[in-house]
Amino acid sequence: MNTAVDVSRFVRTEKIEALPPPKLARGPIAWVRENLFSSPINTALTLAVAYLLFVLIPPILDFLFFNAVWTGTDRAACRAETAGHPVGACWAFVVSKINFFTYGSYPAEERWRVNIFFVLLAIGVAWLLWLRAPRRDLGAVYFFWLFPIASYVLLTGGNVDIGLRAWLLFATIGVVFMAAIGFAAFMLKTSVRSAVLVAAGIVAVLGVTLALLDWDWGLEPVPTSRWGGILVTLLVATVGIVFSLPFGILLALGRRSKLPILRMASVIFIEFVRGVPLITVLIMANTMLPLFLPPDVTVDRLTRPLVGVAFFASAYMAEVVRGGLQAMPKGQYEGAMSLGLNYPQMMVLIILPQALRIVIPGIVNTFIGLFKDTSLVSVVGIFDLVKTIEASRIDPNWAAPTISYTGYAFAALFYFIFCWGMSRYSLGVERRLAAGHKR
């Protein structure tokens, strides 16, 4: 066998065929050896974890399934002395209270309206989240305009008494707004006609919205104080998620703006909201918001925490989005500018799609945090899912040792399903978007 040292010229004429790897480098045994028992420390850790699982898993399974009570009408089914066997989770309690957990005190004969709301929400979410869904532009119109109106009318009953005076005020403001936009277009020497048409479109959309809310649909009004349970949890989470992303993006852009006032305002808002716990924001929204508003304006008691949660989430979202913006190479801005794109076009078409993709994990992280934080609205007296469980577990009808655990296990399951779903979805999106165009 020659080595390169004593051969001055060498030409290989045939290709060396690929050989399979050695036997012990593949297969399940190799995997176990490599991943579980590769060193003494790893072996010890593997054994310790196996022992822990052995200790923990069987009791949990016993509690949740094998000793669980699935049927029953009151506490007798869930007390060991009356049931005659050890009792784990009392699912019968959840079954009997499920309506309260879902709707709160929403009147029983009107609950079909909430069900329609759930269906509409599911349609909207699926339409927007399924990346290959047909006509996602229509989906956006549906989700951000029709769906909120429909939900409002369905859940509250609609028939907001706007009154003639308010309509006149709206008409006046609309005309003034159109004139102002037209004048601005004239001053900036752009097309006055298209500017006025756009303004008229905005006024028309607002007018139609108000008219739909004003219309008497013949639905029984249901005050928000009777809403509760999963309905409120999903409502607060949806509003928070839907508002936080666009507001967060605007705040992030504001924070990176060259205009000092805009930048200062964004920084102050973000740092203030981030520096304060959500509970404080909620309590402030609940008690202080009415102080800032004129005395004859009352803000609904469910709206206050909604606004609080949306603001809170926006501040966090802004920082996540800013991270994405900062990760963008300067060349992308320059490429866009050199083609003559203006600032909004550059941001919407080039920078944000890429920046947001980079921070999908962060965005979903914020969403998940927000989803679970909605349980804090209970401190200002809103009956969300956790609060309905709190209220039910002290029901003397169901006084049994495992009722509280069962209730909280149900809440955990509910939150876990939604949060895990969000997490899986974001992983799927990342994988799909990463395919094909790596940098």
Partner 1 sequence: MATTSTIRQTSAAEIDPRAEPAIQLIDVHKWYGEFHVLRDINLNVRRGERIVICGPSGSGKSTMIRCINRLEEHQKGRIIVNGTELTNDLKRIDEVRRDVGMVFQHFNLFPHLTILENCTLAPIWVKKMSKKDAEEIAMKYLTRVKIPEQANKYPGQLSGGQQQRVAIARSLCMNPKIMLFDEPTSALDPEMVKEVLDTMVGLAEEGMTMLCVTHEMGFARQVADRVIFMDYGQIVEMNTPDEFFKNPQHERTRMFLSQILH
| Residues contributing to the site for partner 1 (CB under 8 A) | 331-332, 334-342, 345, 349-350, 353-354, 357, 433, 436-439
Counting Cβ atoms within 10 Å, is residue 370 exposed (0-12), middle (13-18) or buried (19+)?
Answer: buried
| Cα–Cα distance measured from residue 320 to residue 249, given in angstroms and rounded to the nearest whole number | 9
Please identify which residue in the block is written with the tokens 């949806």: 238
Identify the sign of the CA torsion 426, 431, 437, 439.
positive
Judged by CB, which is closer to partner 1: 279, or 341? 341
Q: What DSSP designation does 380 have?
A: G
Judged by CB, which is closer to partner 1: 107, or 335? 335
Measured between alpha carbons, how far is residue 151 from residues 124, 158, 231 in Å? 12, 9, 11
Q: How far is the CB of 258 from partner 1 (least distance, A)?
A: 12
Other C-beta atoms lying within 10 Å of the C-beta of residue 193: 10
Judged by CB, which is closer to partner 1: 29, or 184? 184
Judged by CB, which is closer to partner 1: 30, or 341? 341
Q: How far is the CB of 317 from partner 1 (least distance, A)?
A: 21
Both tokens of residue 385?
Answer: 């899912």
Judged by CB, which is closer to partner 1: 23, or 330? 330
Judged by CB, which is closer to partner 1: 23, or 437? 437
Amino acid type, 409: A
Q: How far is the CB of 198 from partner 1 (least distance, A)?
A: 16
- Of the candidates 417, 431, 317, the one whose C-alpha atom is nearest the C-alpha of residue 365 is 317
Q: How far is the CB of 436 from partner 1 (least distance, A)?
A: 5
Q: How far is the CB of 340 from partner 1 (least distance, A)?
A: 4
Other C-beta atoms lying within 10 Å of the C-beta of residue 364: 20
Judged by CB, which is closer to partner 1: 237, or 321? 321
Q: How far is the CB of 329 from partner 1 (least distance, A)?
A: 8
Amino acid type, 149: I
Residues 6 or more apart in contact with residue 191 via CB below 8 angstroms: 185
Residues 6 or more apart in contact with residue 340 via CB below 8 angstroms: none
Q: How far is the CB of 335 from partner 1 (least distance, A)?
A: 3
Which helix (DSSP H) or strand (DSSP E) does residue 199 occupy? helix 192-214
